[in-house]
Amino acid sequence: MSGNVIRNNYCPSYGGAVFVDEGGILYMDHDLIYNNSTSLEGAAVAADYGGPGSSYVYLTNCTIANNHATGGLGGNAVFVDVSSFATAINCIFYGNGDDFHVTGGSSLTVTYTLSEEPVAGQGNFQGDPLFADTANGDFHLRSTIGRYDPQSQSWVTDGMHSPAIDAGDPASAYVNEPSPHGSRINLGHDGNTAYASLSNATGIAPALEDDPFILTYPNSKWNDPLEKVPGEQR
């Protein structure tokens, strides 16, 4: 599944937004998942073992925010249960509280991802992604160079610059991002799309270019369609 907005759903069991079970395999990219809830675990995404075998979830350039589970084990964003497997790359997890929970015999691999909860993996870091306006469902990344504003349908500038810009896997394609950019994919659902927030040619916010500490930065409803870009490659 690709380019979806999944929001405001509730499930009394696992997986408030997405539940993969019974040996299912799901590839997700450029999906925005927010404000979902469950009375167990995995308010956004849950993977569980079933009769046919292990389940697998692959998340690429997804934004998963403000999801809440009340089951007590955690894993409000991603819950991987009973010999199942999940991977996430170039993603953003924020505002979920306890982002991840993995039970025995399961695994979660996360790389080049911004999360609120610390998670081991290459290119991962913690921080505030500086979403534009979550109260109104705008999860574009703030940028001092330029950010797409869906309300005005124009590009605007901000006083702050998201650390998720140009923070993705250096090997990931970024050719669909508008110029100027830092020759590196943005994290989240807008990465490698025509709506990706802008940066200067160095990939570093102008206010940080002379900051000596910048070198320590990591090397870094199934109901509403996500904004689509004509001819966009997924």
Listed range (60-74, 82-96, 146-160) with the worst mean pLDDT:
60-74
What residues have CB less than 8 Å from 228, skipping those under 6 apart? 3
Give how far the C-alpha of residue 108 lies from the chain's centroid of Cα atoms, to the nearest Å.
15
Q: Using an 8 Å Cβ cutoff, are 37 and 56 in contact?
A: no
**Tell me, what's the pLDDT at 201?**
67
Q: How far apart are CA 114 and CA 220, in angstroms?
A: 11
Residue carrying the six token digits 């394609």: 173
Q: Using an 8 Å Cβ cutoff, are 202 and 107 in contact?
A: no
Residue 223: band (very low, low, confident or very high) from pLDDT cuts 50, 70, 90: very low
**Tell me, what's the pLDDT at 206?**
45
Residue 42: band (very low, low, confident or very high) from pLDDT cuts 50, 70, 90: low
Residue 68: band (very low, low, confident or very high) from pLDDT cuts 50, 70, 90: confident
Over residues 43-57, mean pLDDT: 77
Q: How far apart are CA 178 and CA 192, in angstroms?
A: 9
**pLDDT (tens digit per residue) in 131-165:** 999 999 999 999 999 999 999 999 999 999 999 99
The pTM of the full predicted model, rounded to 2 decimals, is 0.83
Residue 208: band (very low, low, confident or very high) from pLDDT cuts 50, 70, 90: very low
Over residues 218-232, mean pLDDT: 34
pLDDT at 194 over 90: yes
User: By CB neighbour count within 10 A (0-12 exposed, 13-18 middle, 19+ buried), where does 12 fall?
Assistant: exposed
Return the biggest CA–CA distance within the chain.
57
**Tell me, what's the pLDDT at 105?**
83
Over residues 25-36, mean pLDDT: 92
Q: How far apart are CA 28 and CA 131, in angstroms?
A: 21
Listed range (65-74, 110-119, 191-200) with the worst mean pLDDT:
65-74
Listed range (33-42, 55-64, 81-90, 171-180) with the worst mean pLDDT:
33-42
